[in-house]
Amino acid sequence: MAKTESPILSLERSSDRAEPVSTRLDTDGRARVRIMGLVIAAVTEQEAVAKVVDAAVAGRGQWTITANLDHLRRYRCEPLARRLLASADTVVADGAPLVWASHIAGTPLPQRVAGADMIWSISDAARRRGVSILLLGGDAGVAERAATVLRNCFPEINICGTLCPPHGFDEDERRIELVEELVARMSPGIVLVALGFPKQDVLIERLRQALPSASLVGIGISLSFVAGDVRRCPAWTAALGLEWCHRLLQEPRRLIHRYLVLGVPFAASLLGSAAWYRLRSRSPVGSHDCRWGHE
3-state helix vs strand vs coil in the chain, percent to 5: 50, 15, 35
**What are the tens digits of pLDDT across the range 73-130?**
999 999 999 999 999 999 999 999 999 999 998 889 999 999 999 999 999 999 999 9
Q: Can you give the pLDDT at residue 120? A: 98
Q: What average pLDDT does the structure give for the chain?
A: 86
> What is the gyration radius of the CA atoms in the chain, in angstroms?
19
Q: Can you give the pLDDT at residue 44? A: 96
Neighbours of 269 (CB within 10 A): 16
Coil, helix or strand for 43? coil
Task: Over range 197-211, report the average pLDDT.
Answer: 95
What is the percentage of the chain residues whose pLDDT exceeds 90? 64
CA distance 236 to 14: 37
CA distance 43 to 109: 7
| Domains of the chain and CATH, by start | 21-235 (3.40.50.10700)
* Beta-carbon contacts of residue 27 (< 8 Å; ≥ 6 apart): none
* Beta-carbon contacts of residue 162 (< 8 Å; ≥ 6 apart): 10, 11, 12, 134, 135, 136, 143, 144, 146, 147
What is the percentage of the chain residues whose pLDDT exceeds 70? 85
219 confidence band (pLDDT: 50, 70, 90): very high
Residue 27, pLDDT > 60, answer: no
